[in-house]
Amino acid sequence: MSLEKRNRLCVNSFPRTGNTYLQQSIELFIKKNNLNHISFNSHTHDHLLLLNNNVGQVTVLRNPMDTITSLILMFINPNNSVDEIFKELDYLIDEELKLYMLFLSNINDYDYLAVLKFDDLINSNINDIIYKIFNYLNIDINTEPILITENDINQNINNNIKKHNGNLYALNYPKDKNLIPERGLIMQKIKVSRYFNDAIKIYNNKSTNLNNLLF
C-alpha cells in the first residue's frame, strides 16, 4: 500500500484488457461522489515507469490468448476486411505478442501501481474494485460513498456510442457476433506463434507473484 497521498489516477493497461471500462467506471464514481480527483487512461508501457508522486496507476492483466484474439478482432472493421487482416495474420499476432510481453515486463511491485486481473475485473463488484484501488493508492474516498450501478455504466456506454455516431469501432466495446467464426482460426494461429509460450510464462509470473495484486 502506498503512503503517498494522491488525487490523480491513470488506468494504464495493454489494449483489450478492460482498460476503458475500468477508467469510465472510476470516472463515474468520482463524479457521483463529487470527489476532487482526476482519472485518465493510457496504453503506454513507458508510462508504467513514470513515477509522479501525486499520480497513482492501475493496470489490468489478461491472459495473452484472449487479449490478442480480441485485439485482432478489433482490427476487423469497415475499413479493414477480414480477408485483408488474415493476409497478415501471422505477422500481426507475432508483433502484438511482442508488444504484450514488453508491456507486462514493465509491471512490477511499485507502490504507485495497483494490479488487477481481468477475471477479477469482470467477476467482482465494480464498487469493491474501485475501493480497493483507491485504498491501495492512498486516494481519498468518502466514508459512505455513493455507489455506481450497472445502469449507470450502461447509460455511460450508450452516451459514448451516441457521441461517436453509433460507431462501435471508435470505442473499445464488443463487436458483432458475425466475427465469432474467425475467433477459432485466430486462436489456433496464436497458439502456434513462436512468442506464445513466452507470453504465457510472463503472464503467469506477473499474475501470481506480484505483491501489488488487489485480489
Question: C-alpha 67: how far from its chain's center?
Answer: 10
In this structure, is residue 176 part of a structural domain?
yes
Q: What is the pTM of this model?
A: 0.87
* Cα distances (angstroms) measured from residue 22 to each of 1, 58, 135: 20, 9, 16
Return the residue matching grid coordinates 506463434: 193
Is residue 2 in a domain? no
Does some domain include residue 108?
yes
Residue 189 lies inside a defined structural domain of this protein: yes
Quote the number of domains for the chain.
1
Whether the CB-CB separation of 136 and 212 falls below 8 Å is answered with yes
Residues ≥6 apart with Cβ < 8 Å to 130: 25, 26, 29
Question: Which pLDDT score, from 0 to 100, does residue 175 have?
Answer: 47
Q: For each of the chain's 215 residues, which pLDDT tens digit applies?
A: 556 688 899 999 999 999 988 998 999 999 999 998 888 888 887 777 766 667 899 999 999 999 999 888 877 765 666 677 778 899 999 999 999 999 999 999 988 999 999 999 999 999 999 999 999 999 998 888 999 998 888 887 777 767 656 555 445 444 444 556 778 889 999 999 999 999 999 999 999 999 999 99
With contact defined as beta carbons under 8 Å apart, do 117 and 66 qualify? no
pLDDT number for residue 174: 45
167, part of any domain: yes
Range of the domain at 113: 8-209
Q: Is 130 exposed, middle or buried (0-12, 13-18, 19+ CB in 10 A)?
A: buried
Q: In this structure, what are the phi and psi dihedrals at residue 144, rounded to the nearest 5 degrees?
A: -125, 80
41 assigned to some structural domain? yes
Confirm if 9 and 39 have CB atoms less than 8 A apart.
yes
Residue 97 within any structural domain of the chain:
yes
Question: Residue 1: inside a domain, yes or no?
Answer: no
CATH number at residue 180: 3.40.50
Q: According to the model, what pLDDT value does residue 166 have?
A: 53
